[in-house]
Structure 1
């Protein structure tokens, strides 16, 4: 449970960091605003067309007696919209990070320098970094989509489908959201996607403590845009924890026990 609280702490620390560096926060808003406009239009379309899509996909329910077609299609519409919202939450981060790659790279590097004195650099040209980021983000979205299909099917299970399954969905969203945000700092350190996932799985509660509250915040309109710069800063701090990097000015704690060669009373 300590890792769970630590993850939440990094999220708060990231927001405080950009609060002290307003210029970085301002630059970090631009990619989110651009992406938000596109996603808002897509979600509005989903709201208006979800019923039509479900009706088209379930012609076999036309012959059912009332009220079962309405109940069945209403449940499917809710799950369809929920799945779209889940995908939007994850892909919004990926697309925003892709659009704002230069902004967030600079922000992450500044956090590293403030905490450790130096910042790792990938040494790759921008176009190469964008290509790697897009390719790995697509791989993450495929994983999210597969989880979404599974959760969609489990949503038909009575009681659990309306209680346990949504909770699992938020945890999955939080985990992959953390992966997308930590990718900014980990890619600069040359850590590939498979290794990033392994690192986060080794500290699942840390990833969930950071990602699940952020997922809930992203459900509030416009909040995602304003917290994104701080989320990138907090994810960089989380990466430093995952990689065992010590902040500048802080030494590793000394072992109070004398070494095997130390003599009592001798400095």
Structure 2
């Protein structure tokens, strides 16, 4: 399991490798990523400046505490609130970027498919399907952010627990969303995708966690997004090929290159 988890990290690293071999292609992916980043930054920056007021509003019971304990509680809670916001923003960023940048990212994943060899999948993702998947990702992201916030209230371990759970769950959602284009091209339905993702659970999680951690670095999301699209295409190919070899998944649908 650890080896597979590490392989997921390695898949994102391979995606970054395309910056060396196809810099112009990946540079196209920076455009929608930068637009999405600016939109989200406009929301996160005011949130950062408002954390003091937010934490005071959430903890009125601490008004009568000794100042040291009160400040420690509110600082810790402020960190948790910001982590929850960062988790949600990473998922919103992905949904928004993939929607507005679909033509750019289609070029990236198709080039990756060609570089991997074999017959190139011919299916495409419709615009409204992309929008629907994006809205679903945002909704699930809101639930993850809420869970992260609730966990943050657990005494002593809340901050660490909220961070770990938030990164793991959001990473899983990111991996599922990013591999969607490659699976669409193969004509795979929802059940087939779940079987593939489940069979490669550790690798999928490793890829998603690596991507989420990069997204949490300032400006990391912008640089990482094109590489994540490339890496997710490699991940989808690896999962599909392994399922065919092992006979562990029923891959059906028009547009699939693996029978």
TM-score between the two structures when normalised by the length of structure 1 = 0.80
Which stretches in structure 2 are left out of the alignment for 5+ residues? 246-259
Partner of 2:108: 107
- 1:215-247 Cα offsets, whole Å, 9 max, x none, are 22222222221222121111101001111279x
After superposition, the Cα gap between the structure-2 partners of 1:99 and 1:64, relative to the gap in structure 1 and judged at 3 Å, is same
**Secondary structure at the residue paired with 1:139?**
helix
Which structure has the larger Rg? 1
- 1:152-163 aligned at under 5 Å gives the runs 152-163=149-160
2:129 pairs with 1:132: yes
2:32 matched to 1:31?
yes
Query: Structure 1 residues 193, 52: CA separation in 2 closer, same or farther (over 3 Å shift)?
Result: farther
Distance 2:70 2:7 in 1: 47
SS at match of 2:225: helix
* 2-structure distance, mates of 1:210, 1:109: 20
> Which of 202, 206, 213 in structure 2 is aligned with 1:216?
213
- 2:170 alignment partner, SS class: helix
Asked if the contact 1:110–1:119 (Cα under 8 Å) also holds between the matched residues in 2, the reply is no
Q: Spell out the pairing of 1:206-245 with structure 2 (5 A cutoff).
A: 206-244=203-241
Q: How many residues align?
A: 243
Which blocks of at least 5 consecutive residues in structure 1 are unaligned?
247-251, 253-267
Structure 2 CA distance for partners of 1:9 and 1:74, relative to 1, 3 Å: closer
RMSD (Å) for aligned C-alpha atoms: 2.6
Q: Distance in 1 between matches of 2:242 and 2:111?
A: 15
The alpha-carbon distance between structure 1 residues 47 and 16, as it changes in their structure 2 partners (threshold 3 A), is same
Distance 1:211-1:64 versus aligned 2 partners, 3 A rule: same
Find out whether 1:141 has 2:142 as its counterpart.
no
CA positional deviation for 1:24: 0.7
State the shift of 1:17 in Å: 2.8
DSSP-derived class of the 2:41 partner: helix
